[in-house]
A and B are shown apart, each in its own frame.
Chain A
Amino acid sequence: MSIHDHRYTQELVSPIASVSRIAITSDKVKSYSETFNKIMDMFETMDQCDTDDVMLSDFIVSSESSLREDTATNVDITESLEIHFAHFSGGYFKVPKVIE
């Protein structure tokens, strides 16, 4: 299958938005689909690039990972969380009720 075979159809917009946890109103689905397909048209040029023999390399990282001592420590950051996060109180992040 190549990029040519893919279209960001209106039917795809809602499920992709759902897995992305972004609410999209039905009136915006068409415009998203149109914009995405314009962008996808641009992506089609990648199909012309022959990558059959290309091996992926991890060229990005050139230093060794730093490992911490594997020791347990007691960390009390409750006060810091209270100060820095708007929806934190009493030691917990407040969320809508999940279990009835």
Chain B
Amino acid sequence: MKLHTLSIKALNELLTSRKISVKECTDYFLDRVDAFDQDINAVVYQNKETISAQVSAAQKAIDSGTAGLLTGIPIMHKDIFCVQDEPLTCGSKILDGYISPYSATLVSRLNDAGAINIGRLNMDEFAMGSSNETSHHGPCRNPWDLNTVPGGSSGGSAAAVAARLVPLTTGTDTGGSIRQPASFCGVTGLKPSYGRISRFGMAAYASSLDQAGPFGASAEDCAAMLQVMAGHDTNDMTCSDVCVPDYIKGISQAPEKMTIGLPKEYFNGTLNASLQSLIDDAIDTLQQQGHHFIEVSLPNMEYAIPTYYTIAPCEASSNLARYDGIRYGFRSPHDDLTETYEKSREQGFGDEVKRRILLGSFSLSSGYSSDYYLKAKKVQEKIRLDYMKAFAKADVLLCPTAPSTAFKIGEKTNDPVSMYLSDIYTITVNLAGLPAISVPIGFVNQMPVGMQIIGDRFREERILRLAHHFQQLTDWHQAIPNQYQ
């Protein structure tokens, strides 16, 4: 039986009806990791000793009738989430040898739900990148073409689902790091509202923008994972106590006819014609189902990239100050304390991380902070207000996820500005703290393309419902690269 082609619901039915055991299901996916990951380099750590205990607990829950939808389902986490007593690297040399003393809240919640954590996933160093090329573990490769990037920073999480190494993975999204790799790898990726999921135990890059979220083959699978991950946590004061709805029930209801806004700044003729054609097809598909499309405007979108690349490095320069060579992982030993700090950070951090720390320190330095950081925070507020006006007219917004398909490994590594521009369609969502989902809508030159559905704050159920409706009408989300079928 090809378990890797099944939905979470179908796997759950097989497990709870005892047609397969949790061990059989887990071994099936472990075998796929062994068979395929050598070429992809998505998995950076596995602790097979802890798996058997998880398997036993999940089987016990199934046998006693207390299993939930994720019980016995193999998952993997982006290597940015702490797992107690296991290494955490964030794709960086500076965390070499560091062992987490506690687990992230979302890791604990997924464990408690019976999901089987079978490994940790590659990522851009400290989530800084759009191609998964800045990882200390080496680049992760896109299963659709191993010469191309999977996107970033959650490249390993998207690639693992694309090759169906596991049905579900976790990722983080600070400027598009779930949605852009989901688009590049032909999978579904959800960035929830800021505050929807606890950040406790998630290594910080830009704290006011970082948000965890799920990857899966479909919106329905993502909904199952979000259900467990979402909710208030007293360990994270930015984690909201807004009620978490029943996402599974929500998407299985009859689809409501929505008013869908098309931001005119995203449809100004600059998008590649092949990608535009796929977006047009997706719009037609939804229009035929009775959804109503209107034009909306996000007039300050042109300032999104500089705004993001001012705010995020400022926060990064502060957050990453803790990696000093004294308390965490890697140390370059010297007789002088200052030299120990400076050499440890010089040798422990990669080029992109150092670049963003230095940019942030510059933008926050005396005499410059009001021109950069304060200005960027004000532009961020204008972008947020633009979205509020748009959501006064539309239920959700729809636009491309990325301006291109996956690019070649090495193509943009020497041009940071060009790399930053690949986040052009995703960044405003983070600046406004909104939820958004990327769903596959077709292929250009055999490479996947994604479409983004953006919702108002804490309205994840609405974008999941529209994404699910679209995926009931199309089968792009079921496509798997030939060599992994």
Interface residues of chain A, those whose CB is within 8 Å of chain B, are: 1-3, 6, 8, 12-13, 16-24, 32, 35-36, 38-39, 42-49, 51, 54-57, 59-66, 77, 80-81, 83-87, 93, 95-98
User: When the two chains form the complex, which single residue of B237, B305, B367 contacts A61, counting CB atoms closer than 8 Å?
Assistant: B237
The A-contacting residues of B in range 306-329, CB under 8 angstroms, are: 306-307, 309-310, 317, 321, 324, 326-329
10 tightest A-B contacts by CB?
A51-B378, A23-B342, A23-B346, A63-B241, A66-B234, A54-B378, A43-B306, A21-B341, A86-B97, A20-B361
Q: Kindly state the separation between the CA atoms of A6 and B339 in the bound complex, as whole angstroms.
A: 30
Chain B 374-409, CB-CB to A under 8 Å as 1, else 0, gives 011111011010000000000000000000000000
Q: Kindly state the separation between the CA atoms of A43 and B326 in the bound complex, as whole angstroms.
A: 35
The reply to whether A42 and B420 contact each other, CB–CB distance below 8 Å, is yes
Contact A2 to B329, CB < 8 A, known contacts A16-B365, A61-B237, A84-B99: no
| Least CB separation from B300: chain A residue | A49
Tell me whether B195 is interfacial, beta carbon within 8 Å: yes
The reply to whether A22 and B340 contact each other, CB–CB distance below 8 Å, is no
Main secondary structure of the interface of A (DSSP, over half): loop
The reply to whether A17 and B358 contact each other, CB–CB distance below 8 Å, is yes
Interface residues of chain B, those whose CB is within 8 Å of chain A, are: 85, 97-101, 194-195, 208, 232, 234, 237-242, 300, 302-303, 305-307, 309-310, 317, 321, 324, 326-329, 331, 333-343, 345-346, 349, 354-355, 357-359, 361-362, 365, 367-368, 371-372, 375-379, 381-382, 384, 416-417, 420, 433
> Can you list 22 residue pairs at the A/B interface with Cβ under 8 Å?
A3-B371, A6-B371, A13-B358, A16-B358, A17-B358, A20-B317, A21-B321, A23-B342, A23-B345, A36-B355, A38-B416, A39-B309, A42-B306, A42-B417, A51-B382, A61-B237, A61-B238, A85-B327, A86-B97, A86-B98, A93-B326, A96-B339
User: When the two chains form the complex, which single residue of A12, A39, A63, A98 contacts B240, counting CB atoms closer than 8 Å?
Assistant: A63
B333 neighbours in A (Cβ, 8 Å): 96
The reply to whether A46 and B337 contact each other, CB–CB distance below 8 Å, is no
The reply to whether A60 and B358 contact each other, CB–CB distance below 8 Å, is no
B349 neighbours in A (Cβ, 8 Å): 22
| Least CB separation from B237: chain A residue | A65
Q: Kindly state the separation between the CA atoms of A96 and B338 in the bound complex, as whole angstroms.
A: 9
B234 neighbours in A (Cβ, 8 Å): 66
| Least CB separation from B100: chain A residue | A84
The reply to whether A45 and B101 contact each other, CB–CB distance below 8 Å, is no
The reply to whether B361 and A62 contact each other, CB–CB distance below 8 Å, is no
| Least CB separation from B305: chain A residue | A42
